[in-house]
Structure 1
């Protein structure tokens, strides 16, 4: 059996039963309504992950809850199922939502909404996605007609509250997902403003991978006698994946990256800046590797399409910046390659957390140039990773490490790449892409590290 305290790193609400290493309780046994259980069964989600099995009964009872689990531990269902169950049937008054779910980024809010919308529909509960960088019109219309559940980024929700379009005085449950990320991105003032508008007697559920000073402040100020559930600490999670530190010469760095990622399966390459992401993806396509860039400088519609193509497997290599990657919650990423070192140990763990989900294997490989060696040793110590650099060059050894082959050098044209990420129109999201207003409050980016 698995050591106590370790969990199978499931994806948010999209867990595939084949990857569940140990059967948990069935959702019906946890008190989830039959109509919702039927939708989950149809999606192949039949048994609860540890964070779900632990948190759902307490959240169902109305207790405030502090959940300690990293991204990918199945948190969306851990908070979403109790929130929907406690609502009973829909029936919110115009402009008065009954549940507010806050997520740090637009992409994560979209994913949470995508998971919960069909479950809510099964019990007649209406939902809306409220995020910056999307059209106000559908959001305002939904609120005017009355919605039970608002999934939101903090900035846009504050905006709608200030406009008088949303009032939070009848909210029964408020959820903060990835509270540490919201704090890192400068959203604590907006979160505080929202929580101050919510009745003190509402149920508060807060999920966070780490508890830094700002998150701890929110817990003490707004949660009343919370029950605490921790599936794993961020540091413990590093033991469930394989780590490699590659000493690479500056001259061979590009070749090593190209061969390492030219492999079966999904790969995420982390780089420092938006420009690095664009240039690295272009170079990889020039070498014959289908790669796409994901960063905060891309229009929202483009980001959503690149992520959709990555999730569907049409673009198997994603070159991302740290901030943009926070919206990624995709199963079966079997390689995370750090082409540039992370800022610190915390960022190392966030990057590493994109692999080894749902019981699958994952490799986290970090490229280190000679001048970066001392800095990388410090970062590894902070992350609790005990690996020493070993020299890696293009060739057979690298093929053994990642399954990567040297690219054939047949360039992928810009037209072919654009065709892959062009809309095969997915089901139209709330807020569409037409008439997108660039105003609102897109999420803030931390410093220059985007």
Structure 2
């Protein structure tokens, strides 16, 4: 299908949400949360989305895509005022991870309430029965991960023939995770004449397949905001000896402020979290081997400040938004440049400043140089040892270390289950969660080696 030419984005500084056609009931809710002026991606896409056009929106992570589609969906649903029907949502938002689905719903829920609209989430890793009850009660906006929604559709608990608007968020990530067959199957059950909005950080081949198959003459808005994370963050590569990696990481994470540390594997995240907690850093983990209850508790602990450090696999690169993350550390350099940008986008969101640090050993030099080149960033490379003054510049403030025993963990999910949209119904034990397995005595390099075997596509993140 034909794709309209990209439109030039006008400055959003002089615009208000009311100027773009957002109703007063929603602008009041936005103002109450401190959101008063649209970001470029919102200013660009809202007029076309509110007019009922299919929209293809590209913006870097943290550019404000959630409000861009949330405001359009809710405004259009309120205008049509179609009554809710059991098992037949009026709008469908597909997201690749549970964390992202939850956060989309948390953004939409207060806005929807102002318009007397109802939202709910559907994803794996939790019991299906409450979801079935919610669907039967009727819902206006369903925010779902593809796998669990497909289960409900197949079982007859959900029907997509009344969907007026469909949104695909992080479409490129869904393609990367192998969800496209399920996504296509779900979209084919929505009405052909319905409006479709697709938002993505990149427009790769997998995304292009969805665009050509399901979007009708879409308007393309490609917005690389001047407030984007890449423009607002500083990048550093710390060239360290392998035996110094953990000590350097402790110095960075013991500083005040929120830090996200990325590893390549689930086992690496689990082991590193345990070692940091034992060293006195308040840290929690986030990866696919945790049951959903444990993942939720750990994110809450990181969000409310109980834990200052989140150790995560790439599941968190797209799936979470926590305000005021000041530092991102690539303990394991990612395998490709897109992952570097998405991981790094956990800081410097919405124009705030942030720092990104990559730890690099001698044998990783060629890999990291190629990574930064493809990512299009200029990083300052410094060879250093623990105690170097630069560490306090990168993570300023008084270091606090309170060594403590590792708390009991929730039972890990089975390795074979998908890390992003699994169907496990197991809960977890209370508390921010880390592993209870004994960790062998090993160096920091061995504990979270970048040479660890890459995780499996579906179940290893």
* TM-score bracket, shorter-length normalisation: 0.7 to 0.9
**In structure 1, what is the Cα distance between the partners aligned to 2:36 and 2:109?**
18
Q: Could you tell me how far 1:395 is from its partner in structure 2?
A: 1.4
Q: Could you tell me how far 1:144 is from its partner in structure 2?
A: 1.4
Q: Deviations over 1:34-66 (max 9, x none)?
A: 222222222222221111111111100000000
Alignment-derived partner of residue 220 in structure 1: 212
**Alpha-carbon spacing, 1:168–1:105, altered in 2? closer, same or farther (3 Å):** same
**In structure 1, what is the Cα distance between the partners aligned to 2:35 and 2:372?**
36
Alignment-derived partner of residue 181 in structure 1: 173
**In structure 2, what is the Cα distance between the partners aligned to 1:298 and 1:448?**
12
**In structure 2, what is the Cα distance between the partners aligned to 1:56 and 1:291?**
39
Q: Could you tell me how far 1:268 is from its partner in structure 2?
A: 0.6
Asked if 1:55 corresponds to 2:53, the answer is: no
Alignment-derived partner of residue 446 in structure 1: 457
**In structure 1, what is the Cα distance between the partners aligned to 2:401 and 2:48?**
56
In the TM superposition, what are the counterparts of 1:359-398 in structure 2 within 5 Å? 359-387=351-379, 389-398=381-390
Q: Could you tell me how far 1:448 is from its partner in structure 2?
A: 6.6
**In structure 1, what is the Cα distance between the partners aligned to 2:39 and 2:56?**
17
Q: Could you tell me how far 1:308 is from its partner in structure 2?
A: 1.0
Residue 351 of structure 1, aligned match among 325, 343, 354: 343
SS at match of 1:28: coil
Q: Could you tell me how far 1:384 is from its partner in structure 2?
A: 1.2
**In structure 1, what is the Cα distance between the partners aligned to 2:164 and 2:58?**
22
**Alpha-carbon spacing, 1:24–1:198, altered in 2? closer, same or farther (3 Å):** farther
SS at match of 2:373: helix
Asked if 1:318 corresponds to 2:310, the answer is: yes
**Alpha-carbon spacing, 1:408–1:66, altered in 2? closer, same or farther (3 Å):** closer
Q: Deviations over 1:69-95 (max 9, x none)?
A: 122211111101111111123612222
Q: Which runs of 5+ in 1 are unaligned?
A: 8-21, 422-435
On the 8 A contact 2:273/2:311 being kept in 1, the answer is: yes
Q: Deviations over 1:277-298 (max 9, x none)?
A: 1221222122221111111111
In the TM superposition, what are the counterparts of 1:271-420 in structure 2 within 5 Å? 271-387=263-379, 389-404=381-396, 410-415=402-407
**In structure 2, what is the Cα distance between the partners aligned to 1:207 and 1:106?**
17
Q: Could you tell me how far 1:101 is from its partner in structure 2?
A: 0.5
Q: Could you tell me how far 1:274 is from its partner in structure 2?
A: 1.4
Alignment-derived partner of residue 124 in structure 2: 132
Q: 203-212 or 372-381: which moved more?
A: 372-381
**In structure 2, what is the Cα distance between the partners aligned to 1:142 and 1:448?**
28
TM-score by length of 1: 0.86
TM-score by length of 2: 0.84
Q: Deviations over 1:310-343 (max 9, x none)?
A: 1112211111111244321112111111111111
Asked if 1:166 corresponds to 2:177, the answer is: no
**In structure 1, what is the Cα distance between the partners aligned to 2:128 and 2:460?**
29
Q: Could you tell me how far 1:349 is from its partner in structure 2?
A: 0.8
Asked if 1:437 corresponds to 2:414, the answer is: no
On the 8 A contact 2:288/2:460 being kept in 1, the answer is: no
Asked if 1:201 corresponds to 2:193, the answer is: yes
**In structure 1, what is the Cα distance between the partners aligned to 2:292 and 2:212?**
35
SS at match of 1:190: helix
SS at match of 1:29: coil
**In structure 2, what is the Cα distance between the partners aligned to 1:261 and 1:5?**
39
Asked if 1:253 corresponds to 2:245, the answer is: yes
On the 8 A contact 2:261/2:311 being kept in 1, the answer is: yes
On the 8 A contact 2:64/2:350 being kept in 1, the answer is: no
**In structure 2, what is the Cα distance between the partners aligned to 1:274 and 1:255?**
21
**Alpha-carbon spacing, 1:229–1:445, altered in 2? closer, same or farther (3 Å):** farther
On the 8 A contact 1:24/1:49 being kept in 2, the answer is: no
Root-mean-square deviation over aligned CA pairs: 2.6
**Alpha-carbon spacing, 1:43–1:168, altered in 2? closer, same or farther (3 Å):** same
Asked if 1:116 corresponds to 2:104, the answer is: no
Q: Which runs of 5+ in 2 are unaligned?
A: 1-7, 411-423, 428-454
On the 8 A contact 2:20/2:47 being kept in 1, the answer is: yes
**Alpha-carbon spacing, 1:363–1:408, altered in 2? closer, same or farther (3 Å):** closer
Residue 17 of structure 2, aligned match among 7, 13, 27: 27
Alignment-derived partner of residue 73 in structure 1: 63
**Alpha-carbon spacing, 1:307–1:246, altered in 2? closer, same or farther (3 Å):** same
On the 8 A contact 2:286/2:311 being kept in 1, the answer is: yes
On the 8 A contact 2:251/2:386 being kept in 1, the answer is: yes
**Alpha-carbon spacing, 1:193–1:318, altered in 2? closer, same or farther (3 Å):** same
Q: Could you tell me how far 1:259 is from its partner in structure 2?
A: 0.5
**Alpha-carbon spacing, 1:25–1:299, altered in 2? closer, same or farther (3 Å):** same
On the 8 A contact 1:322/1:449 being kept in 2, the answer is: no
SS at match of 2:186: helix
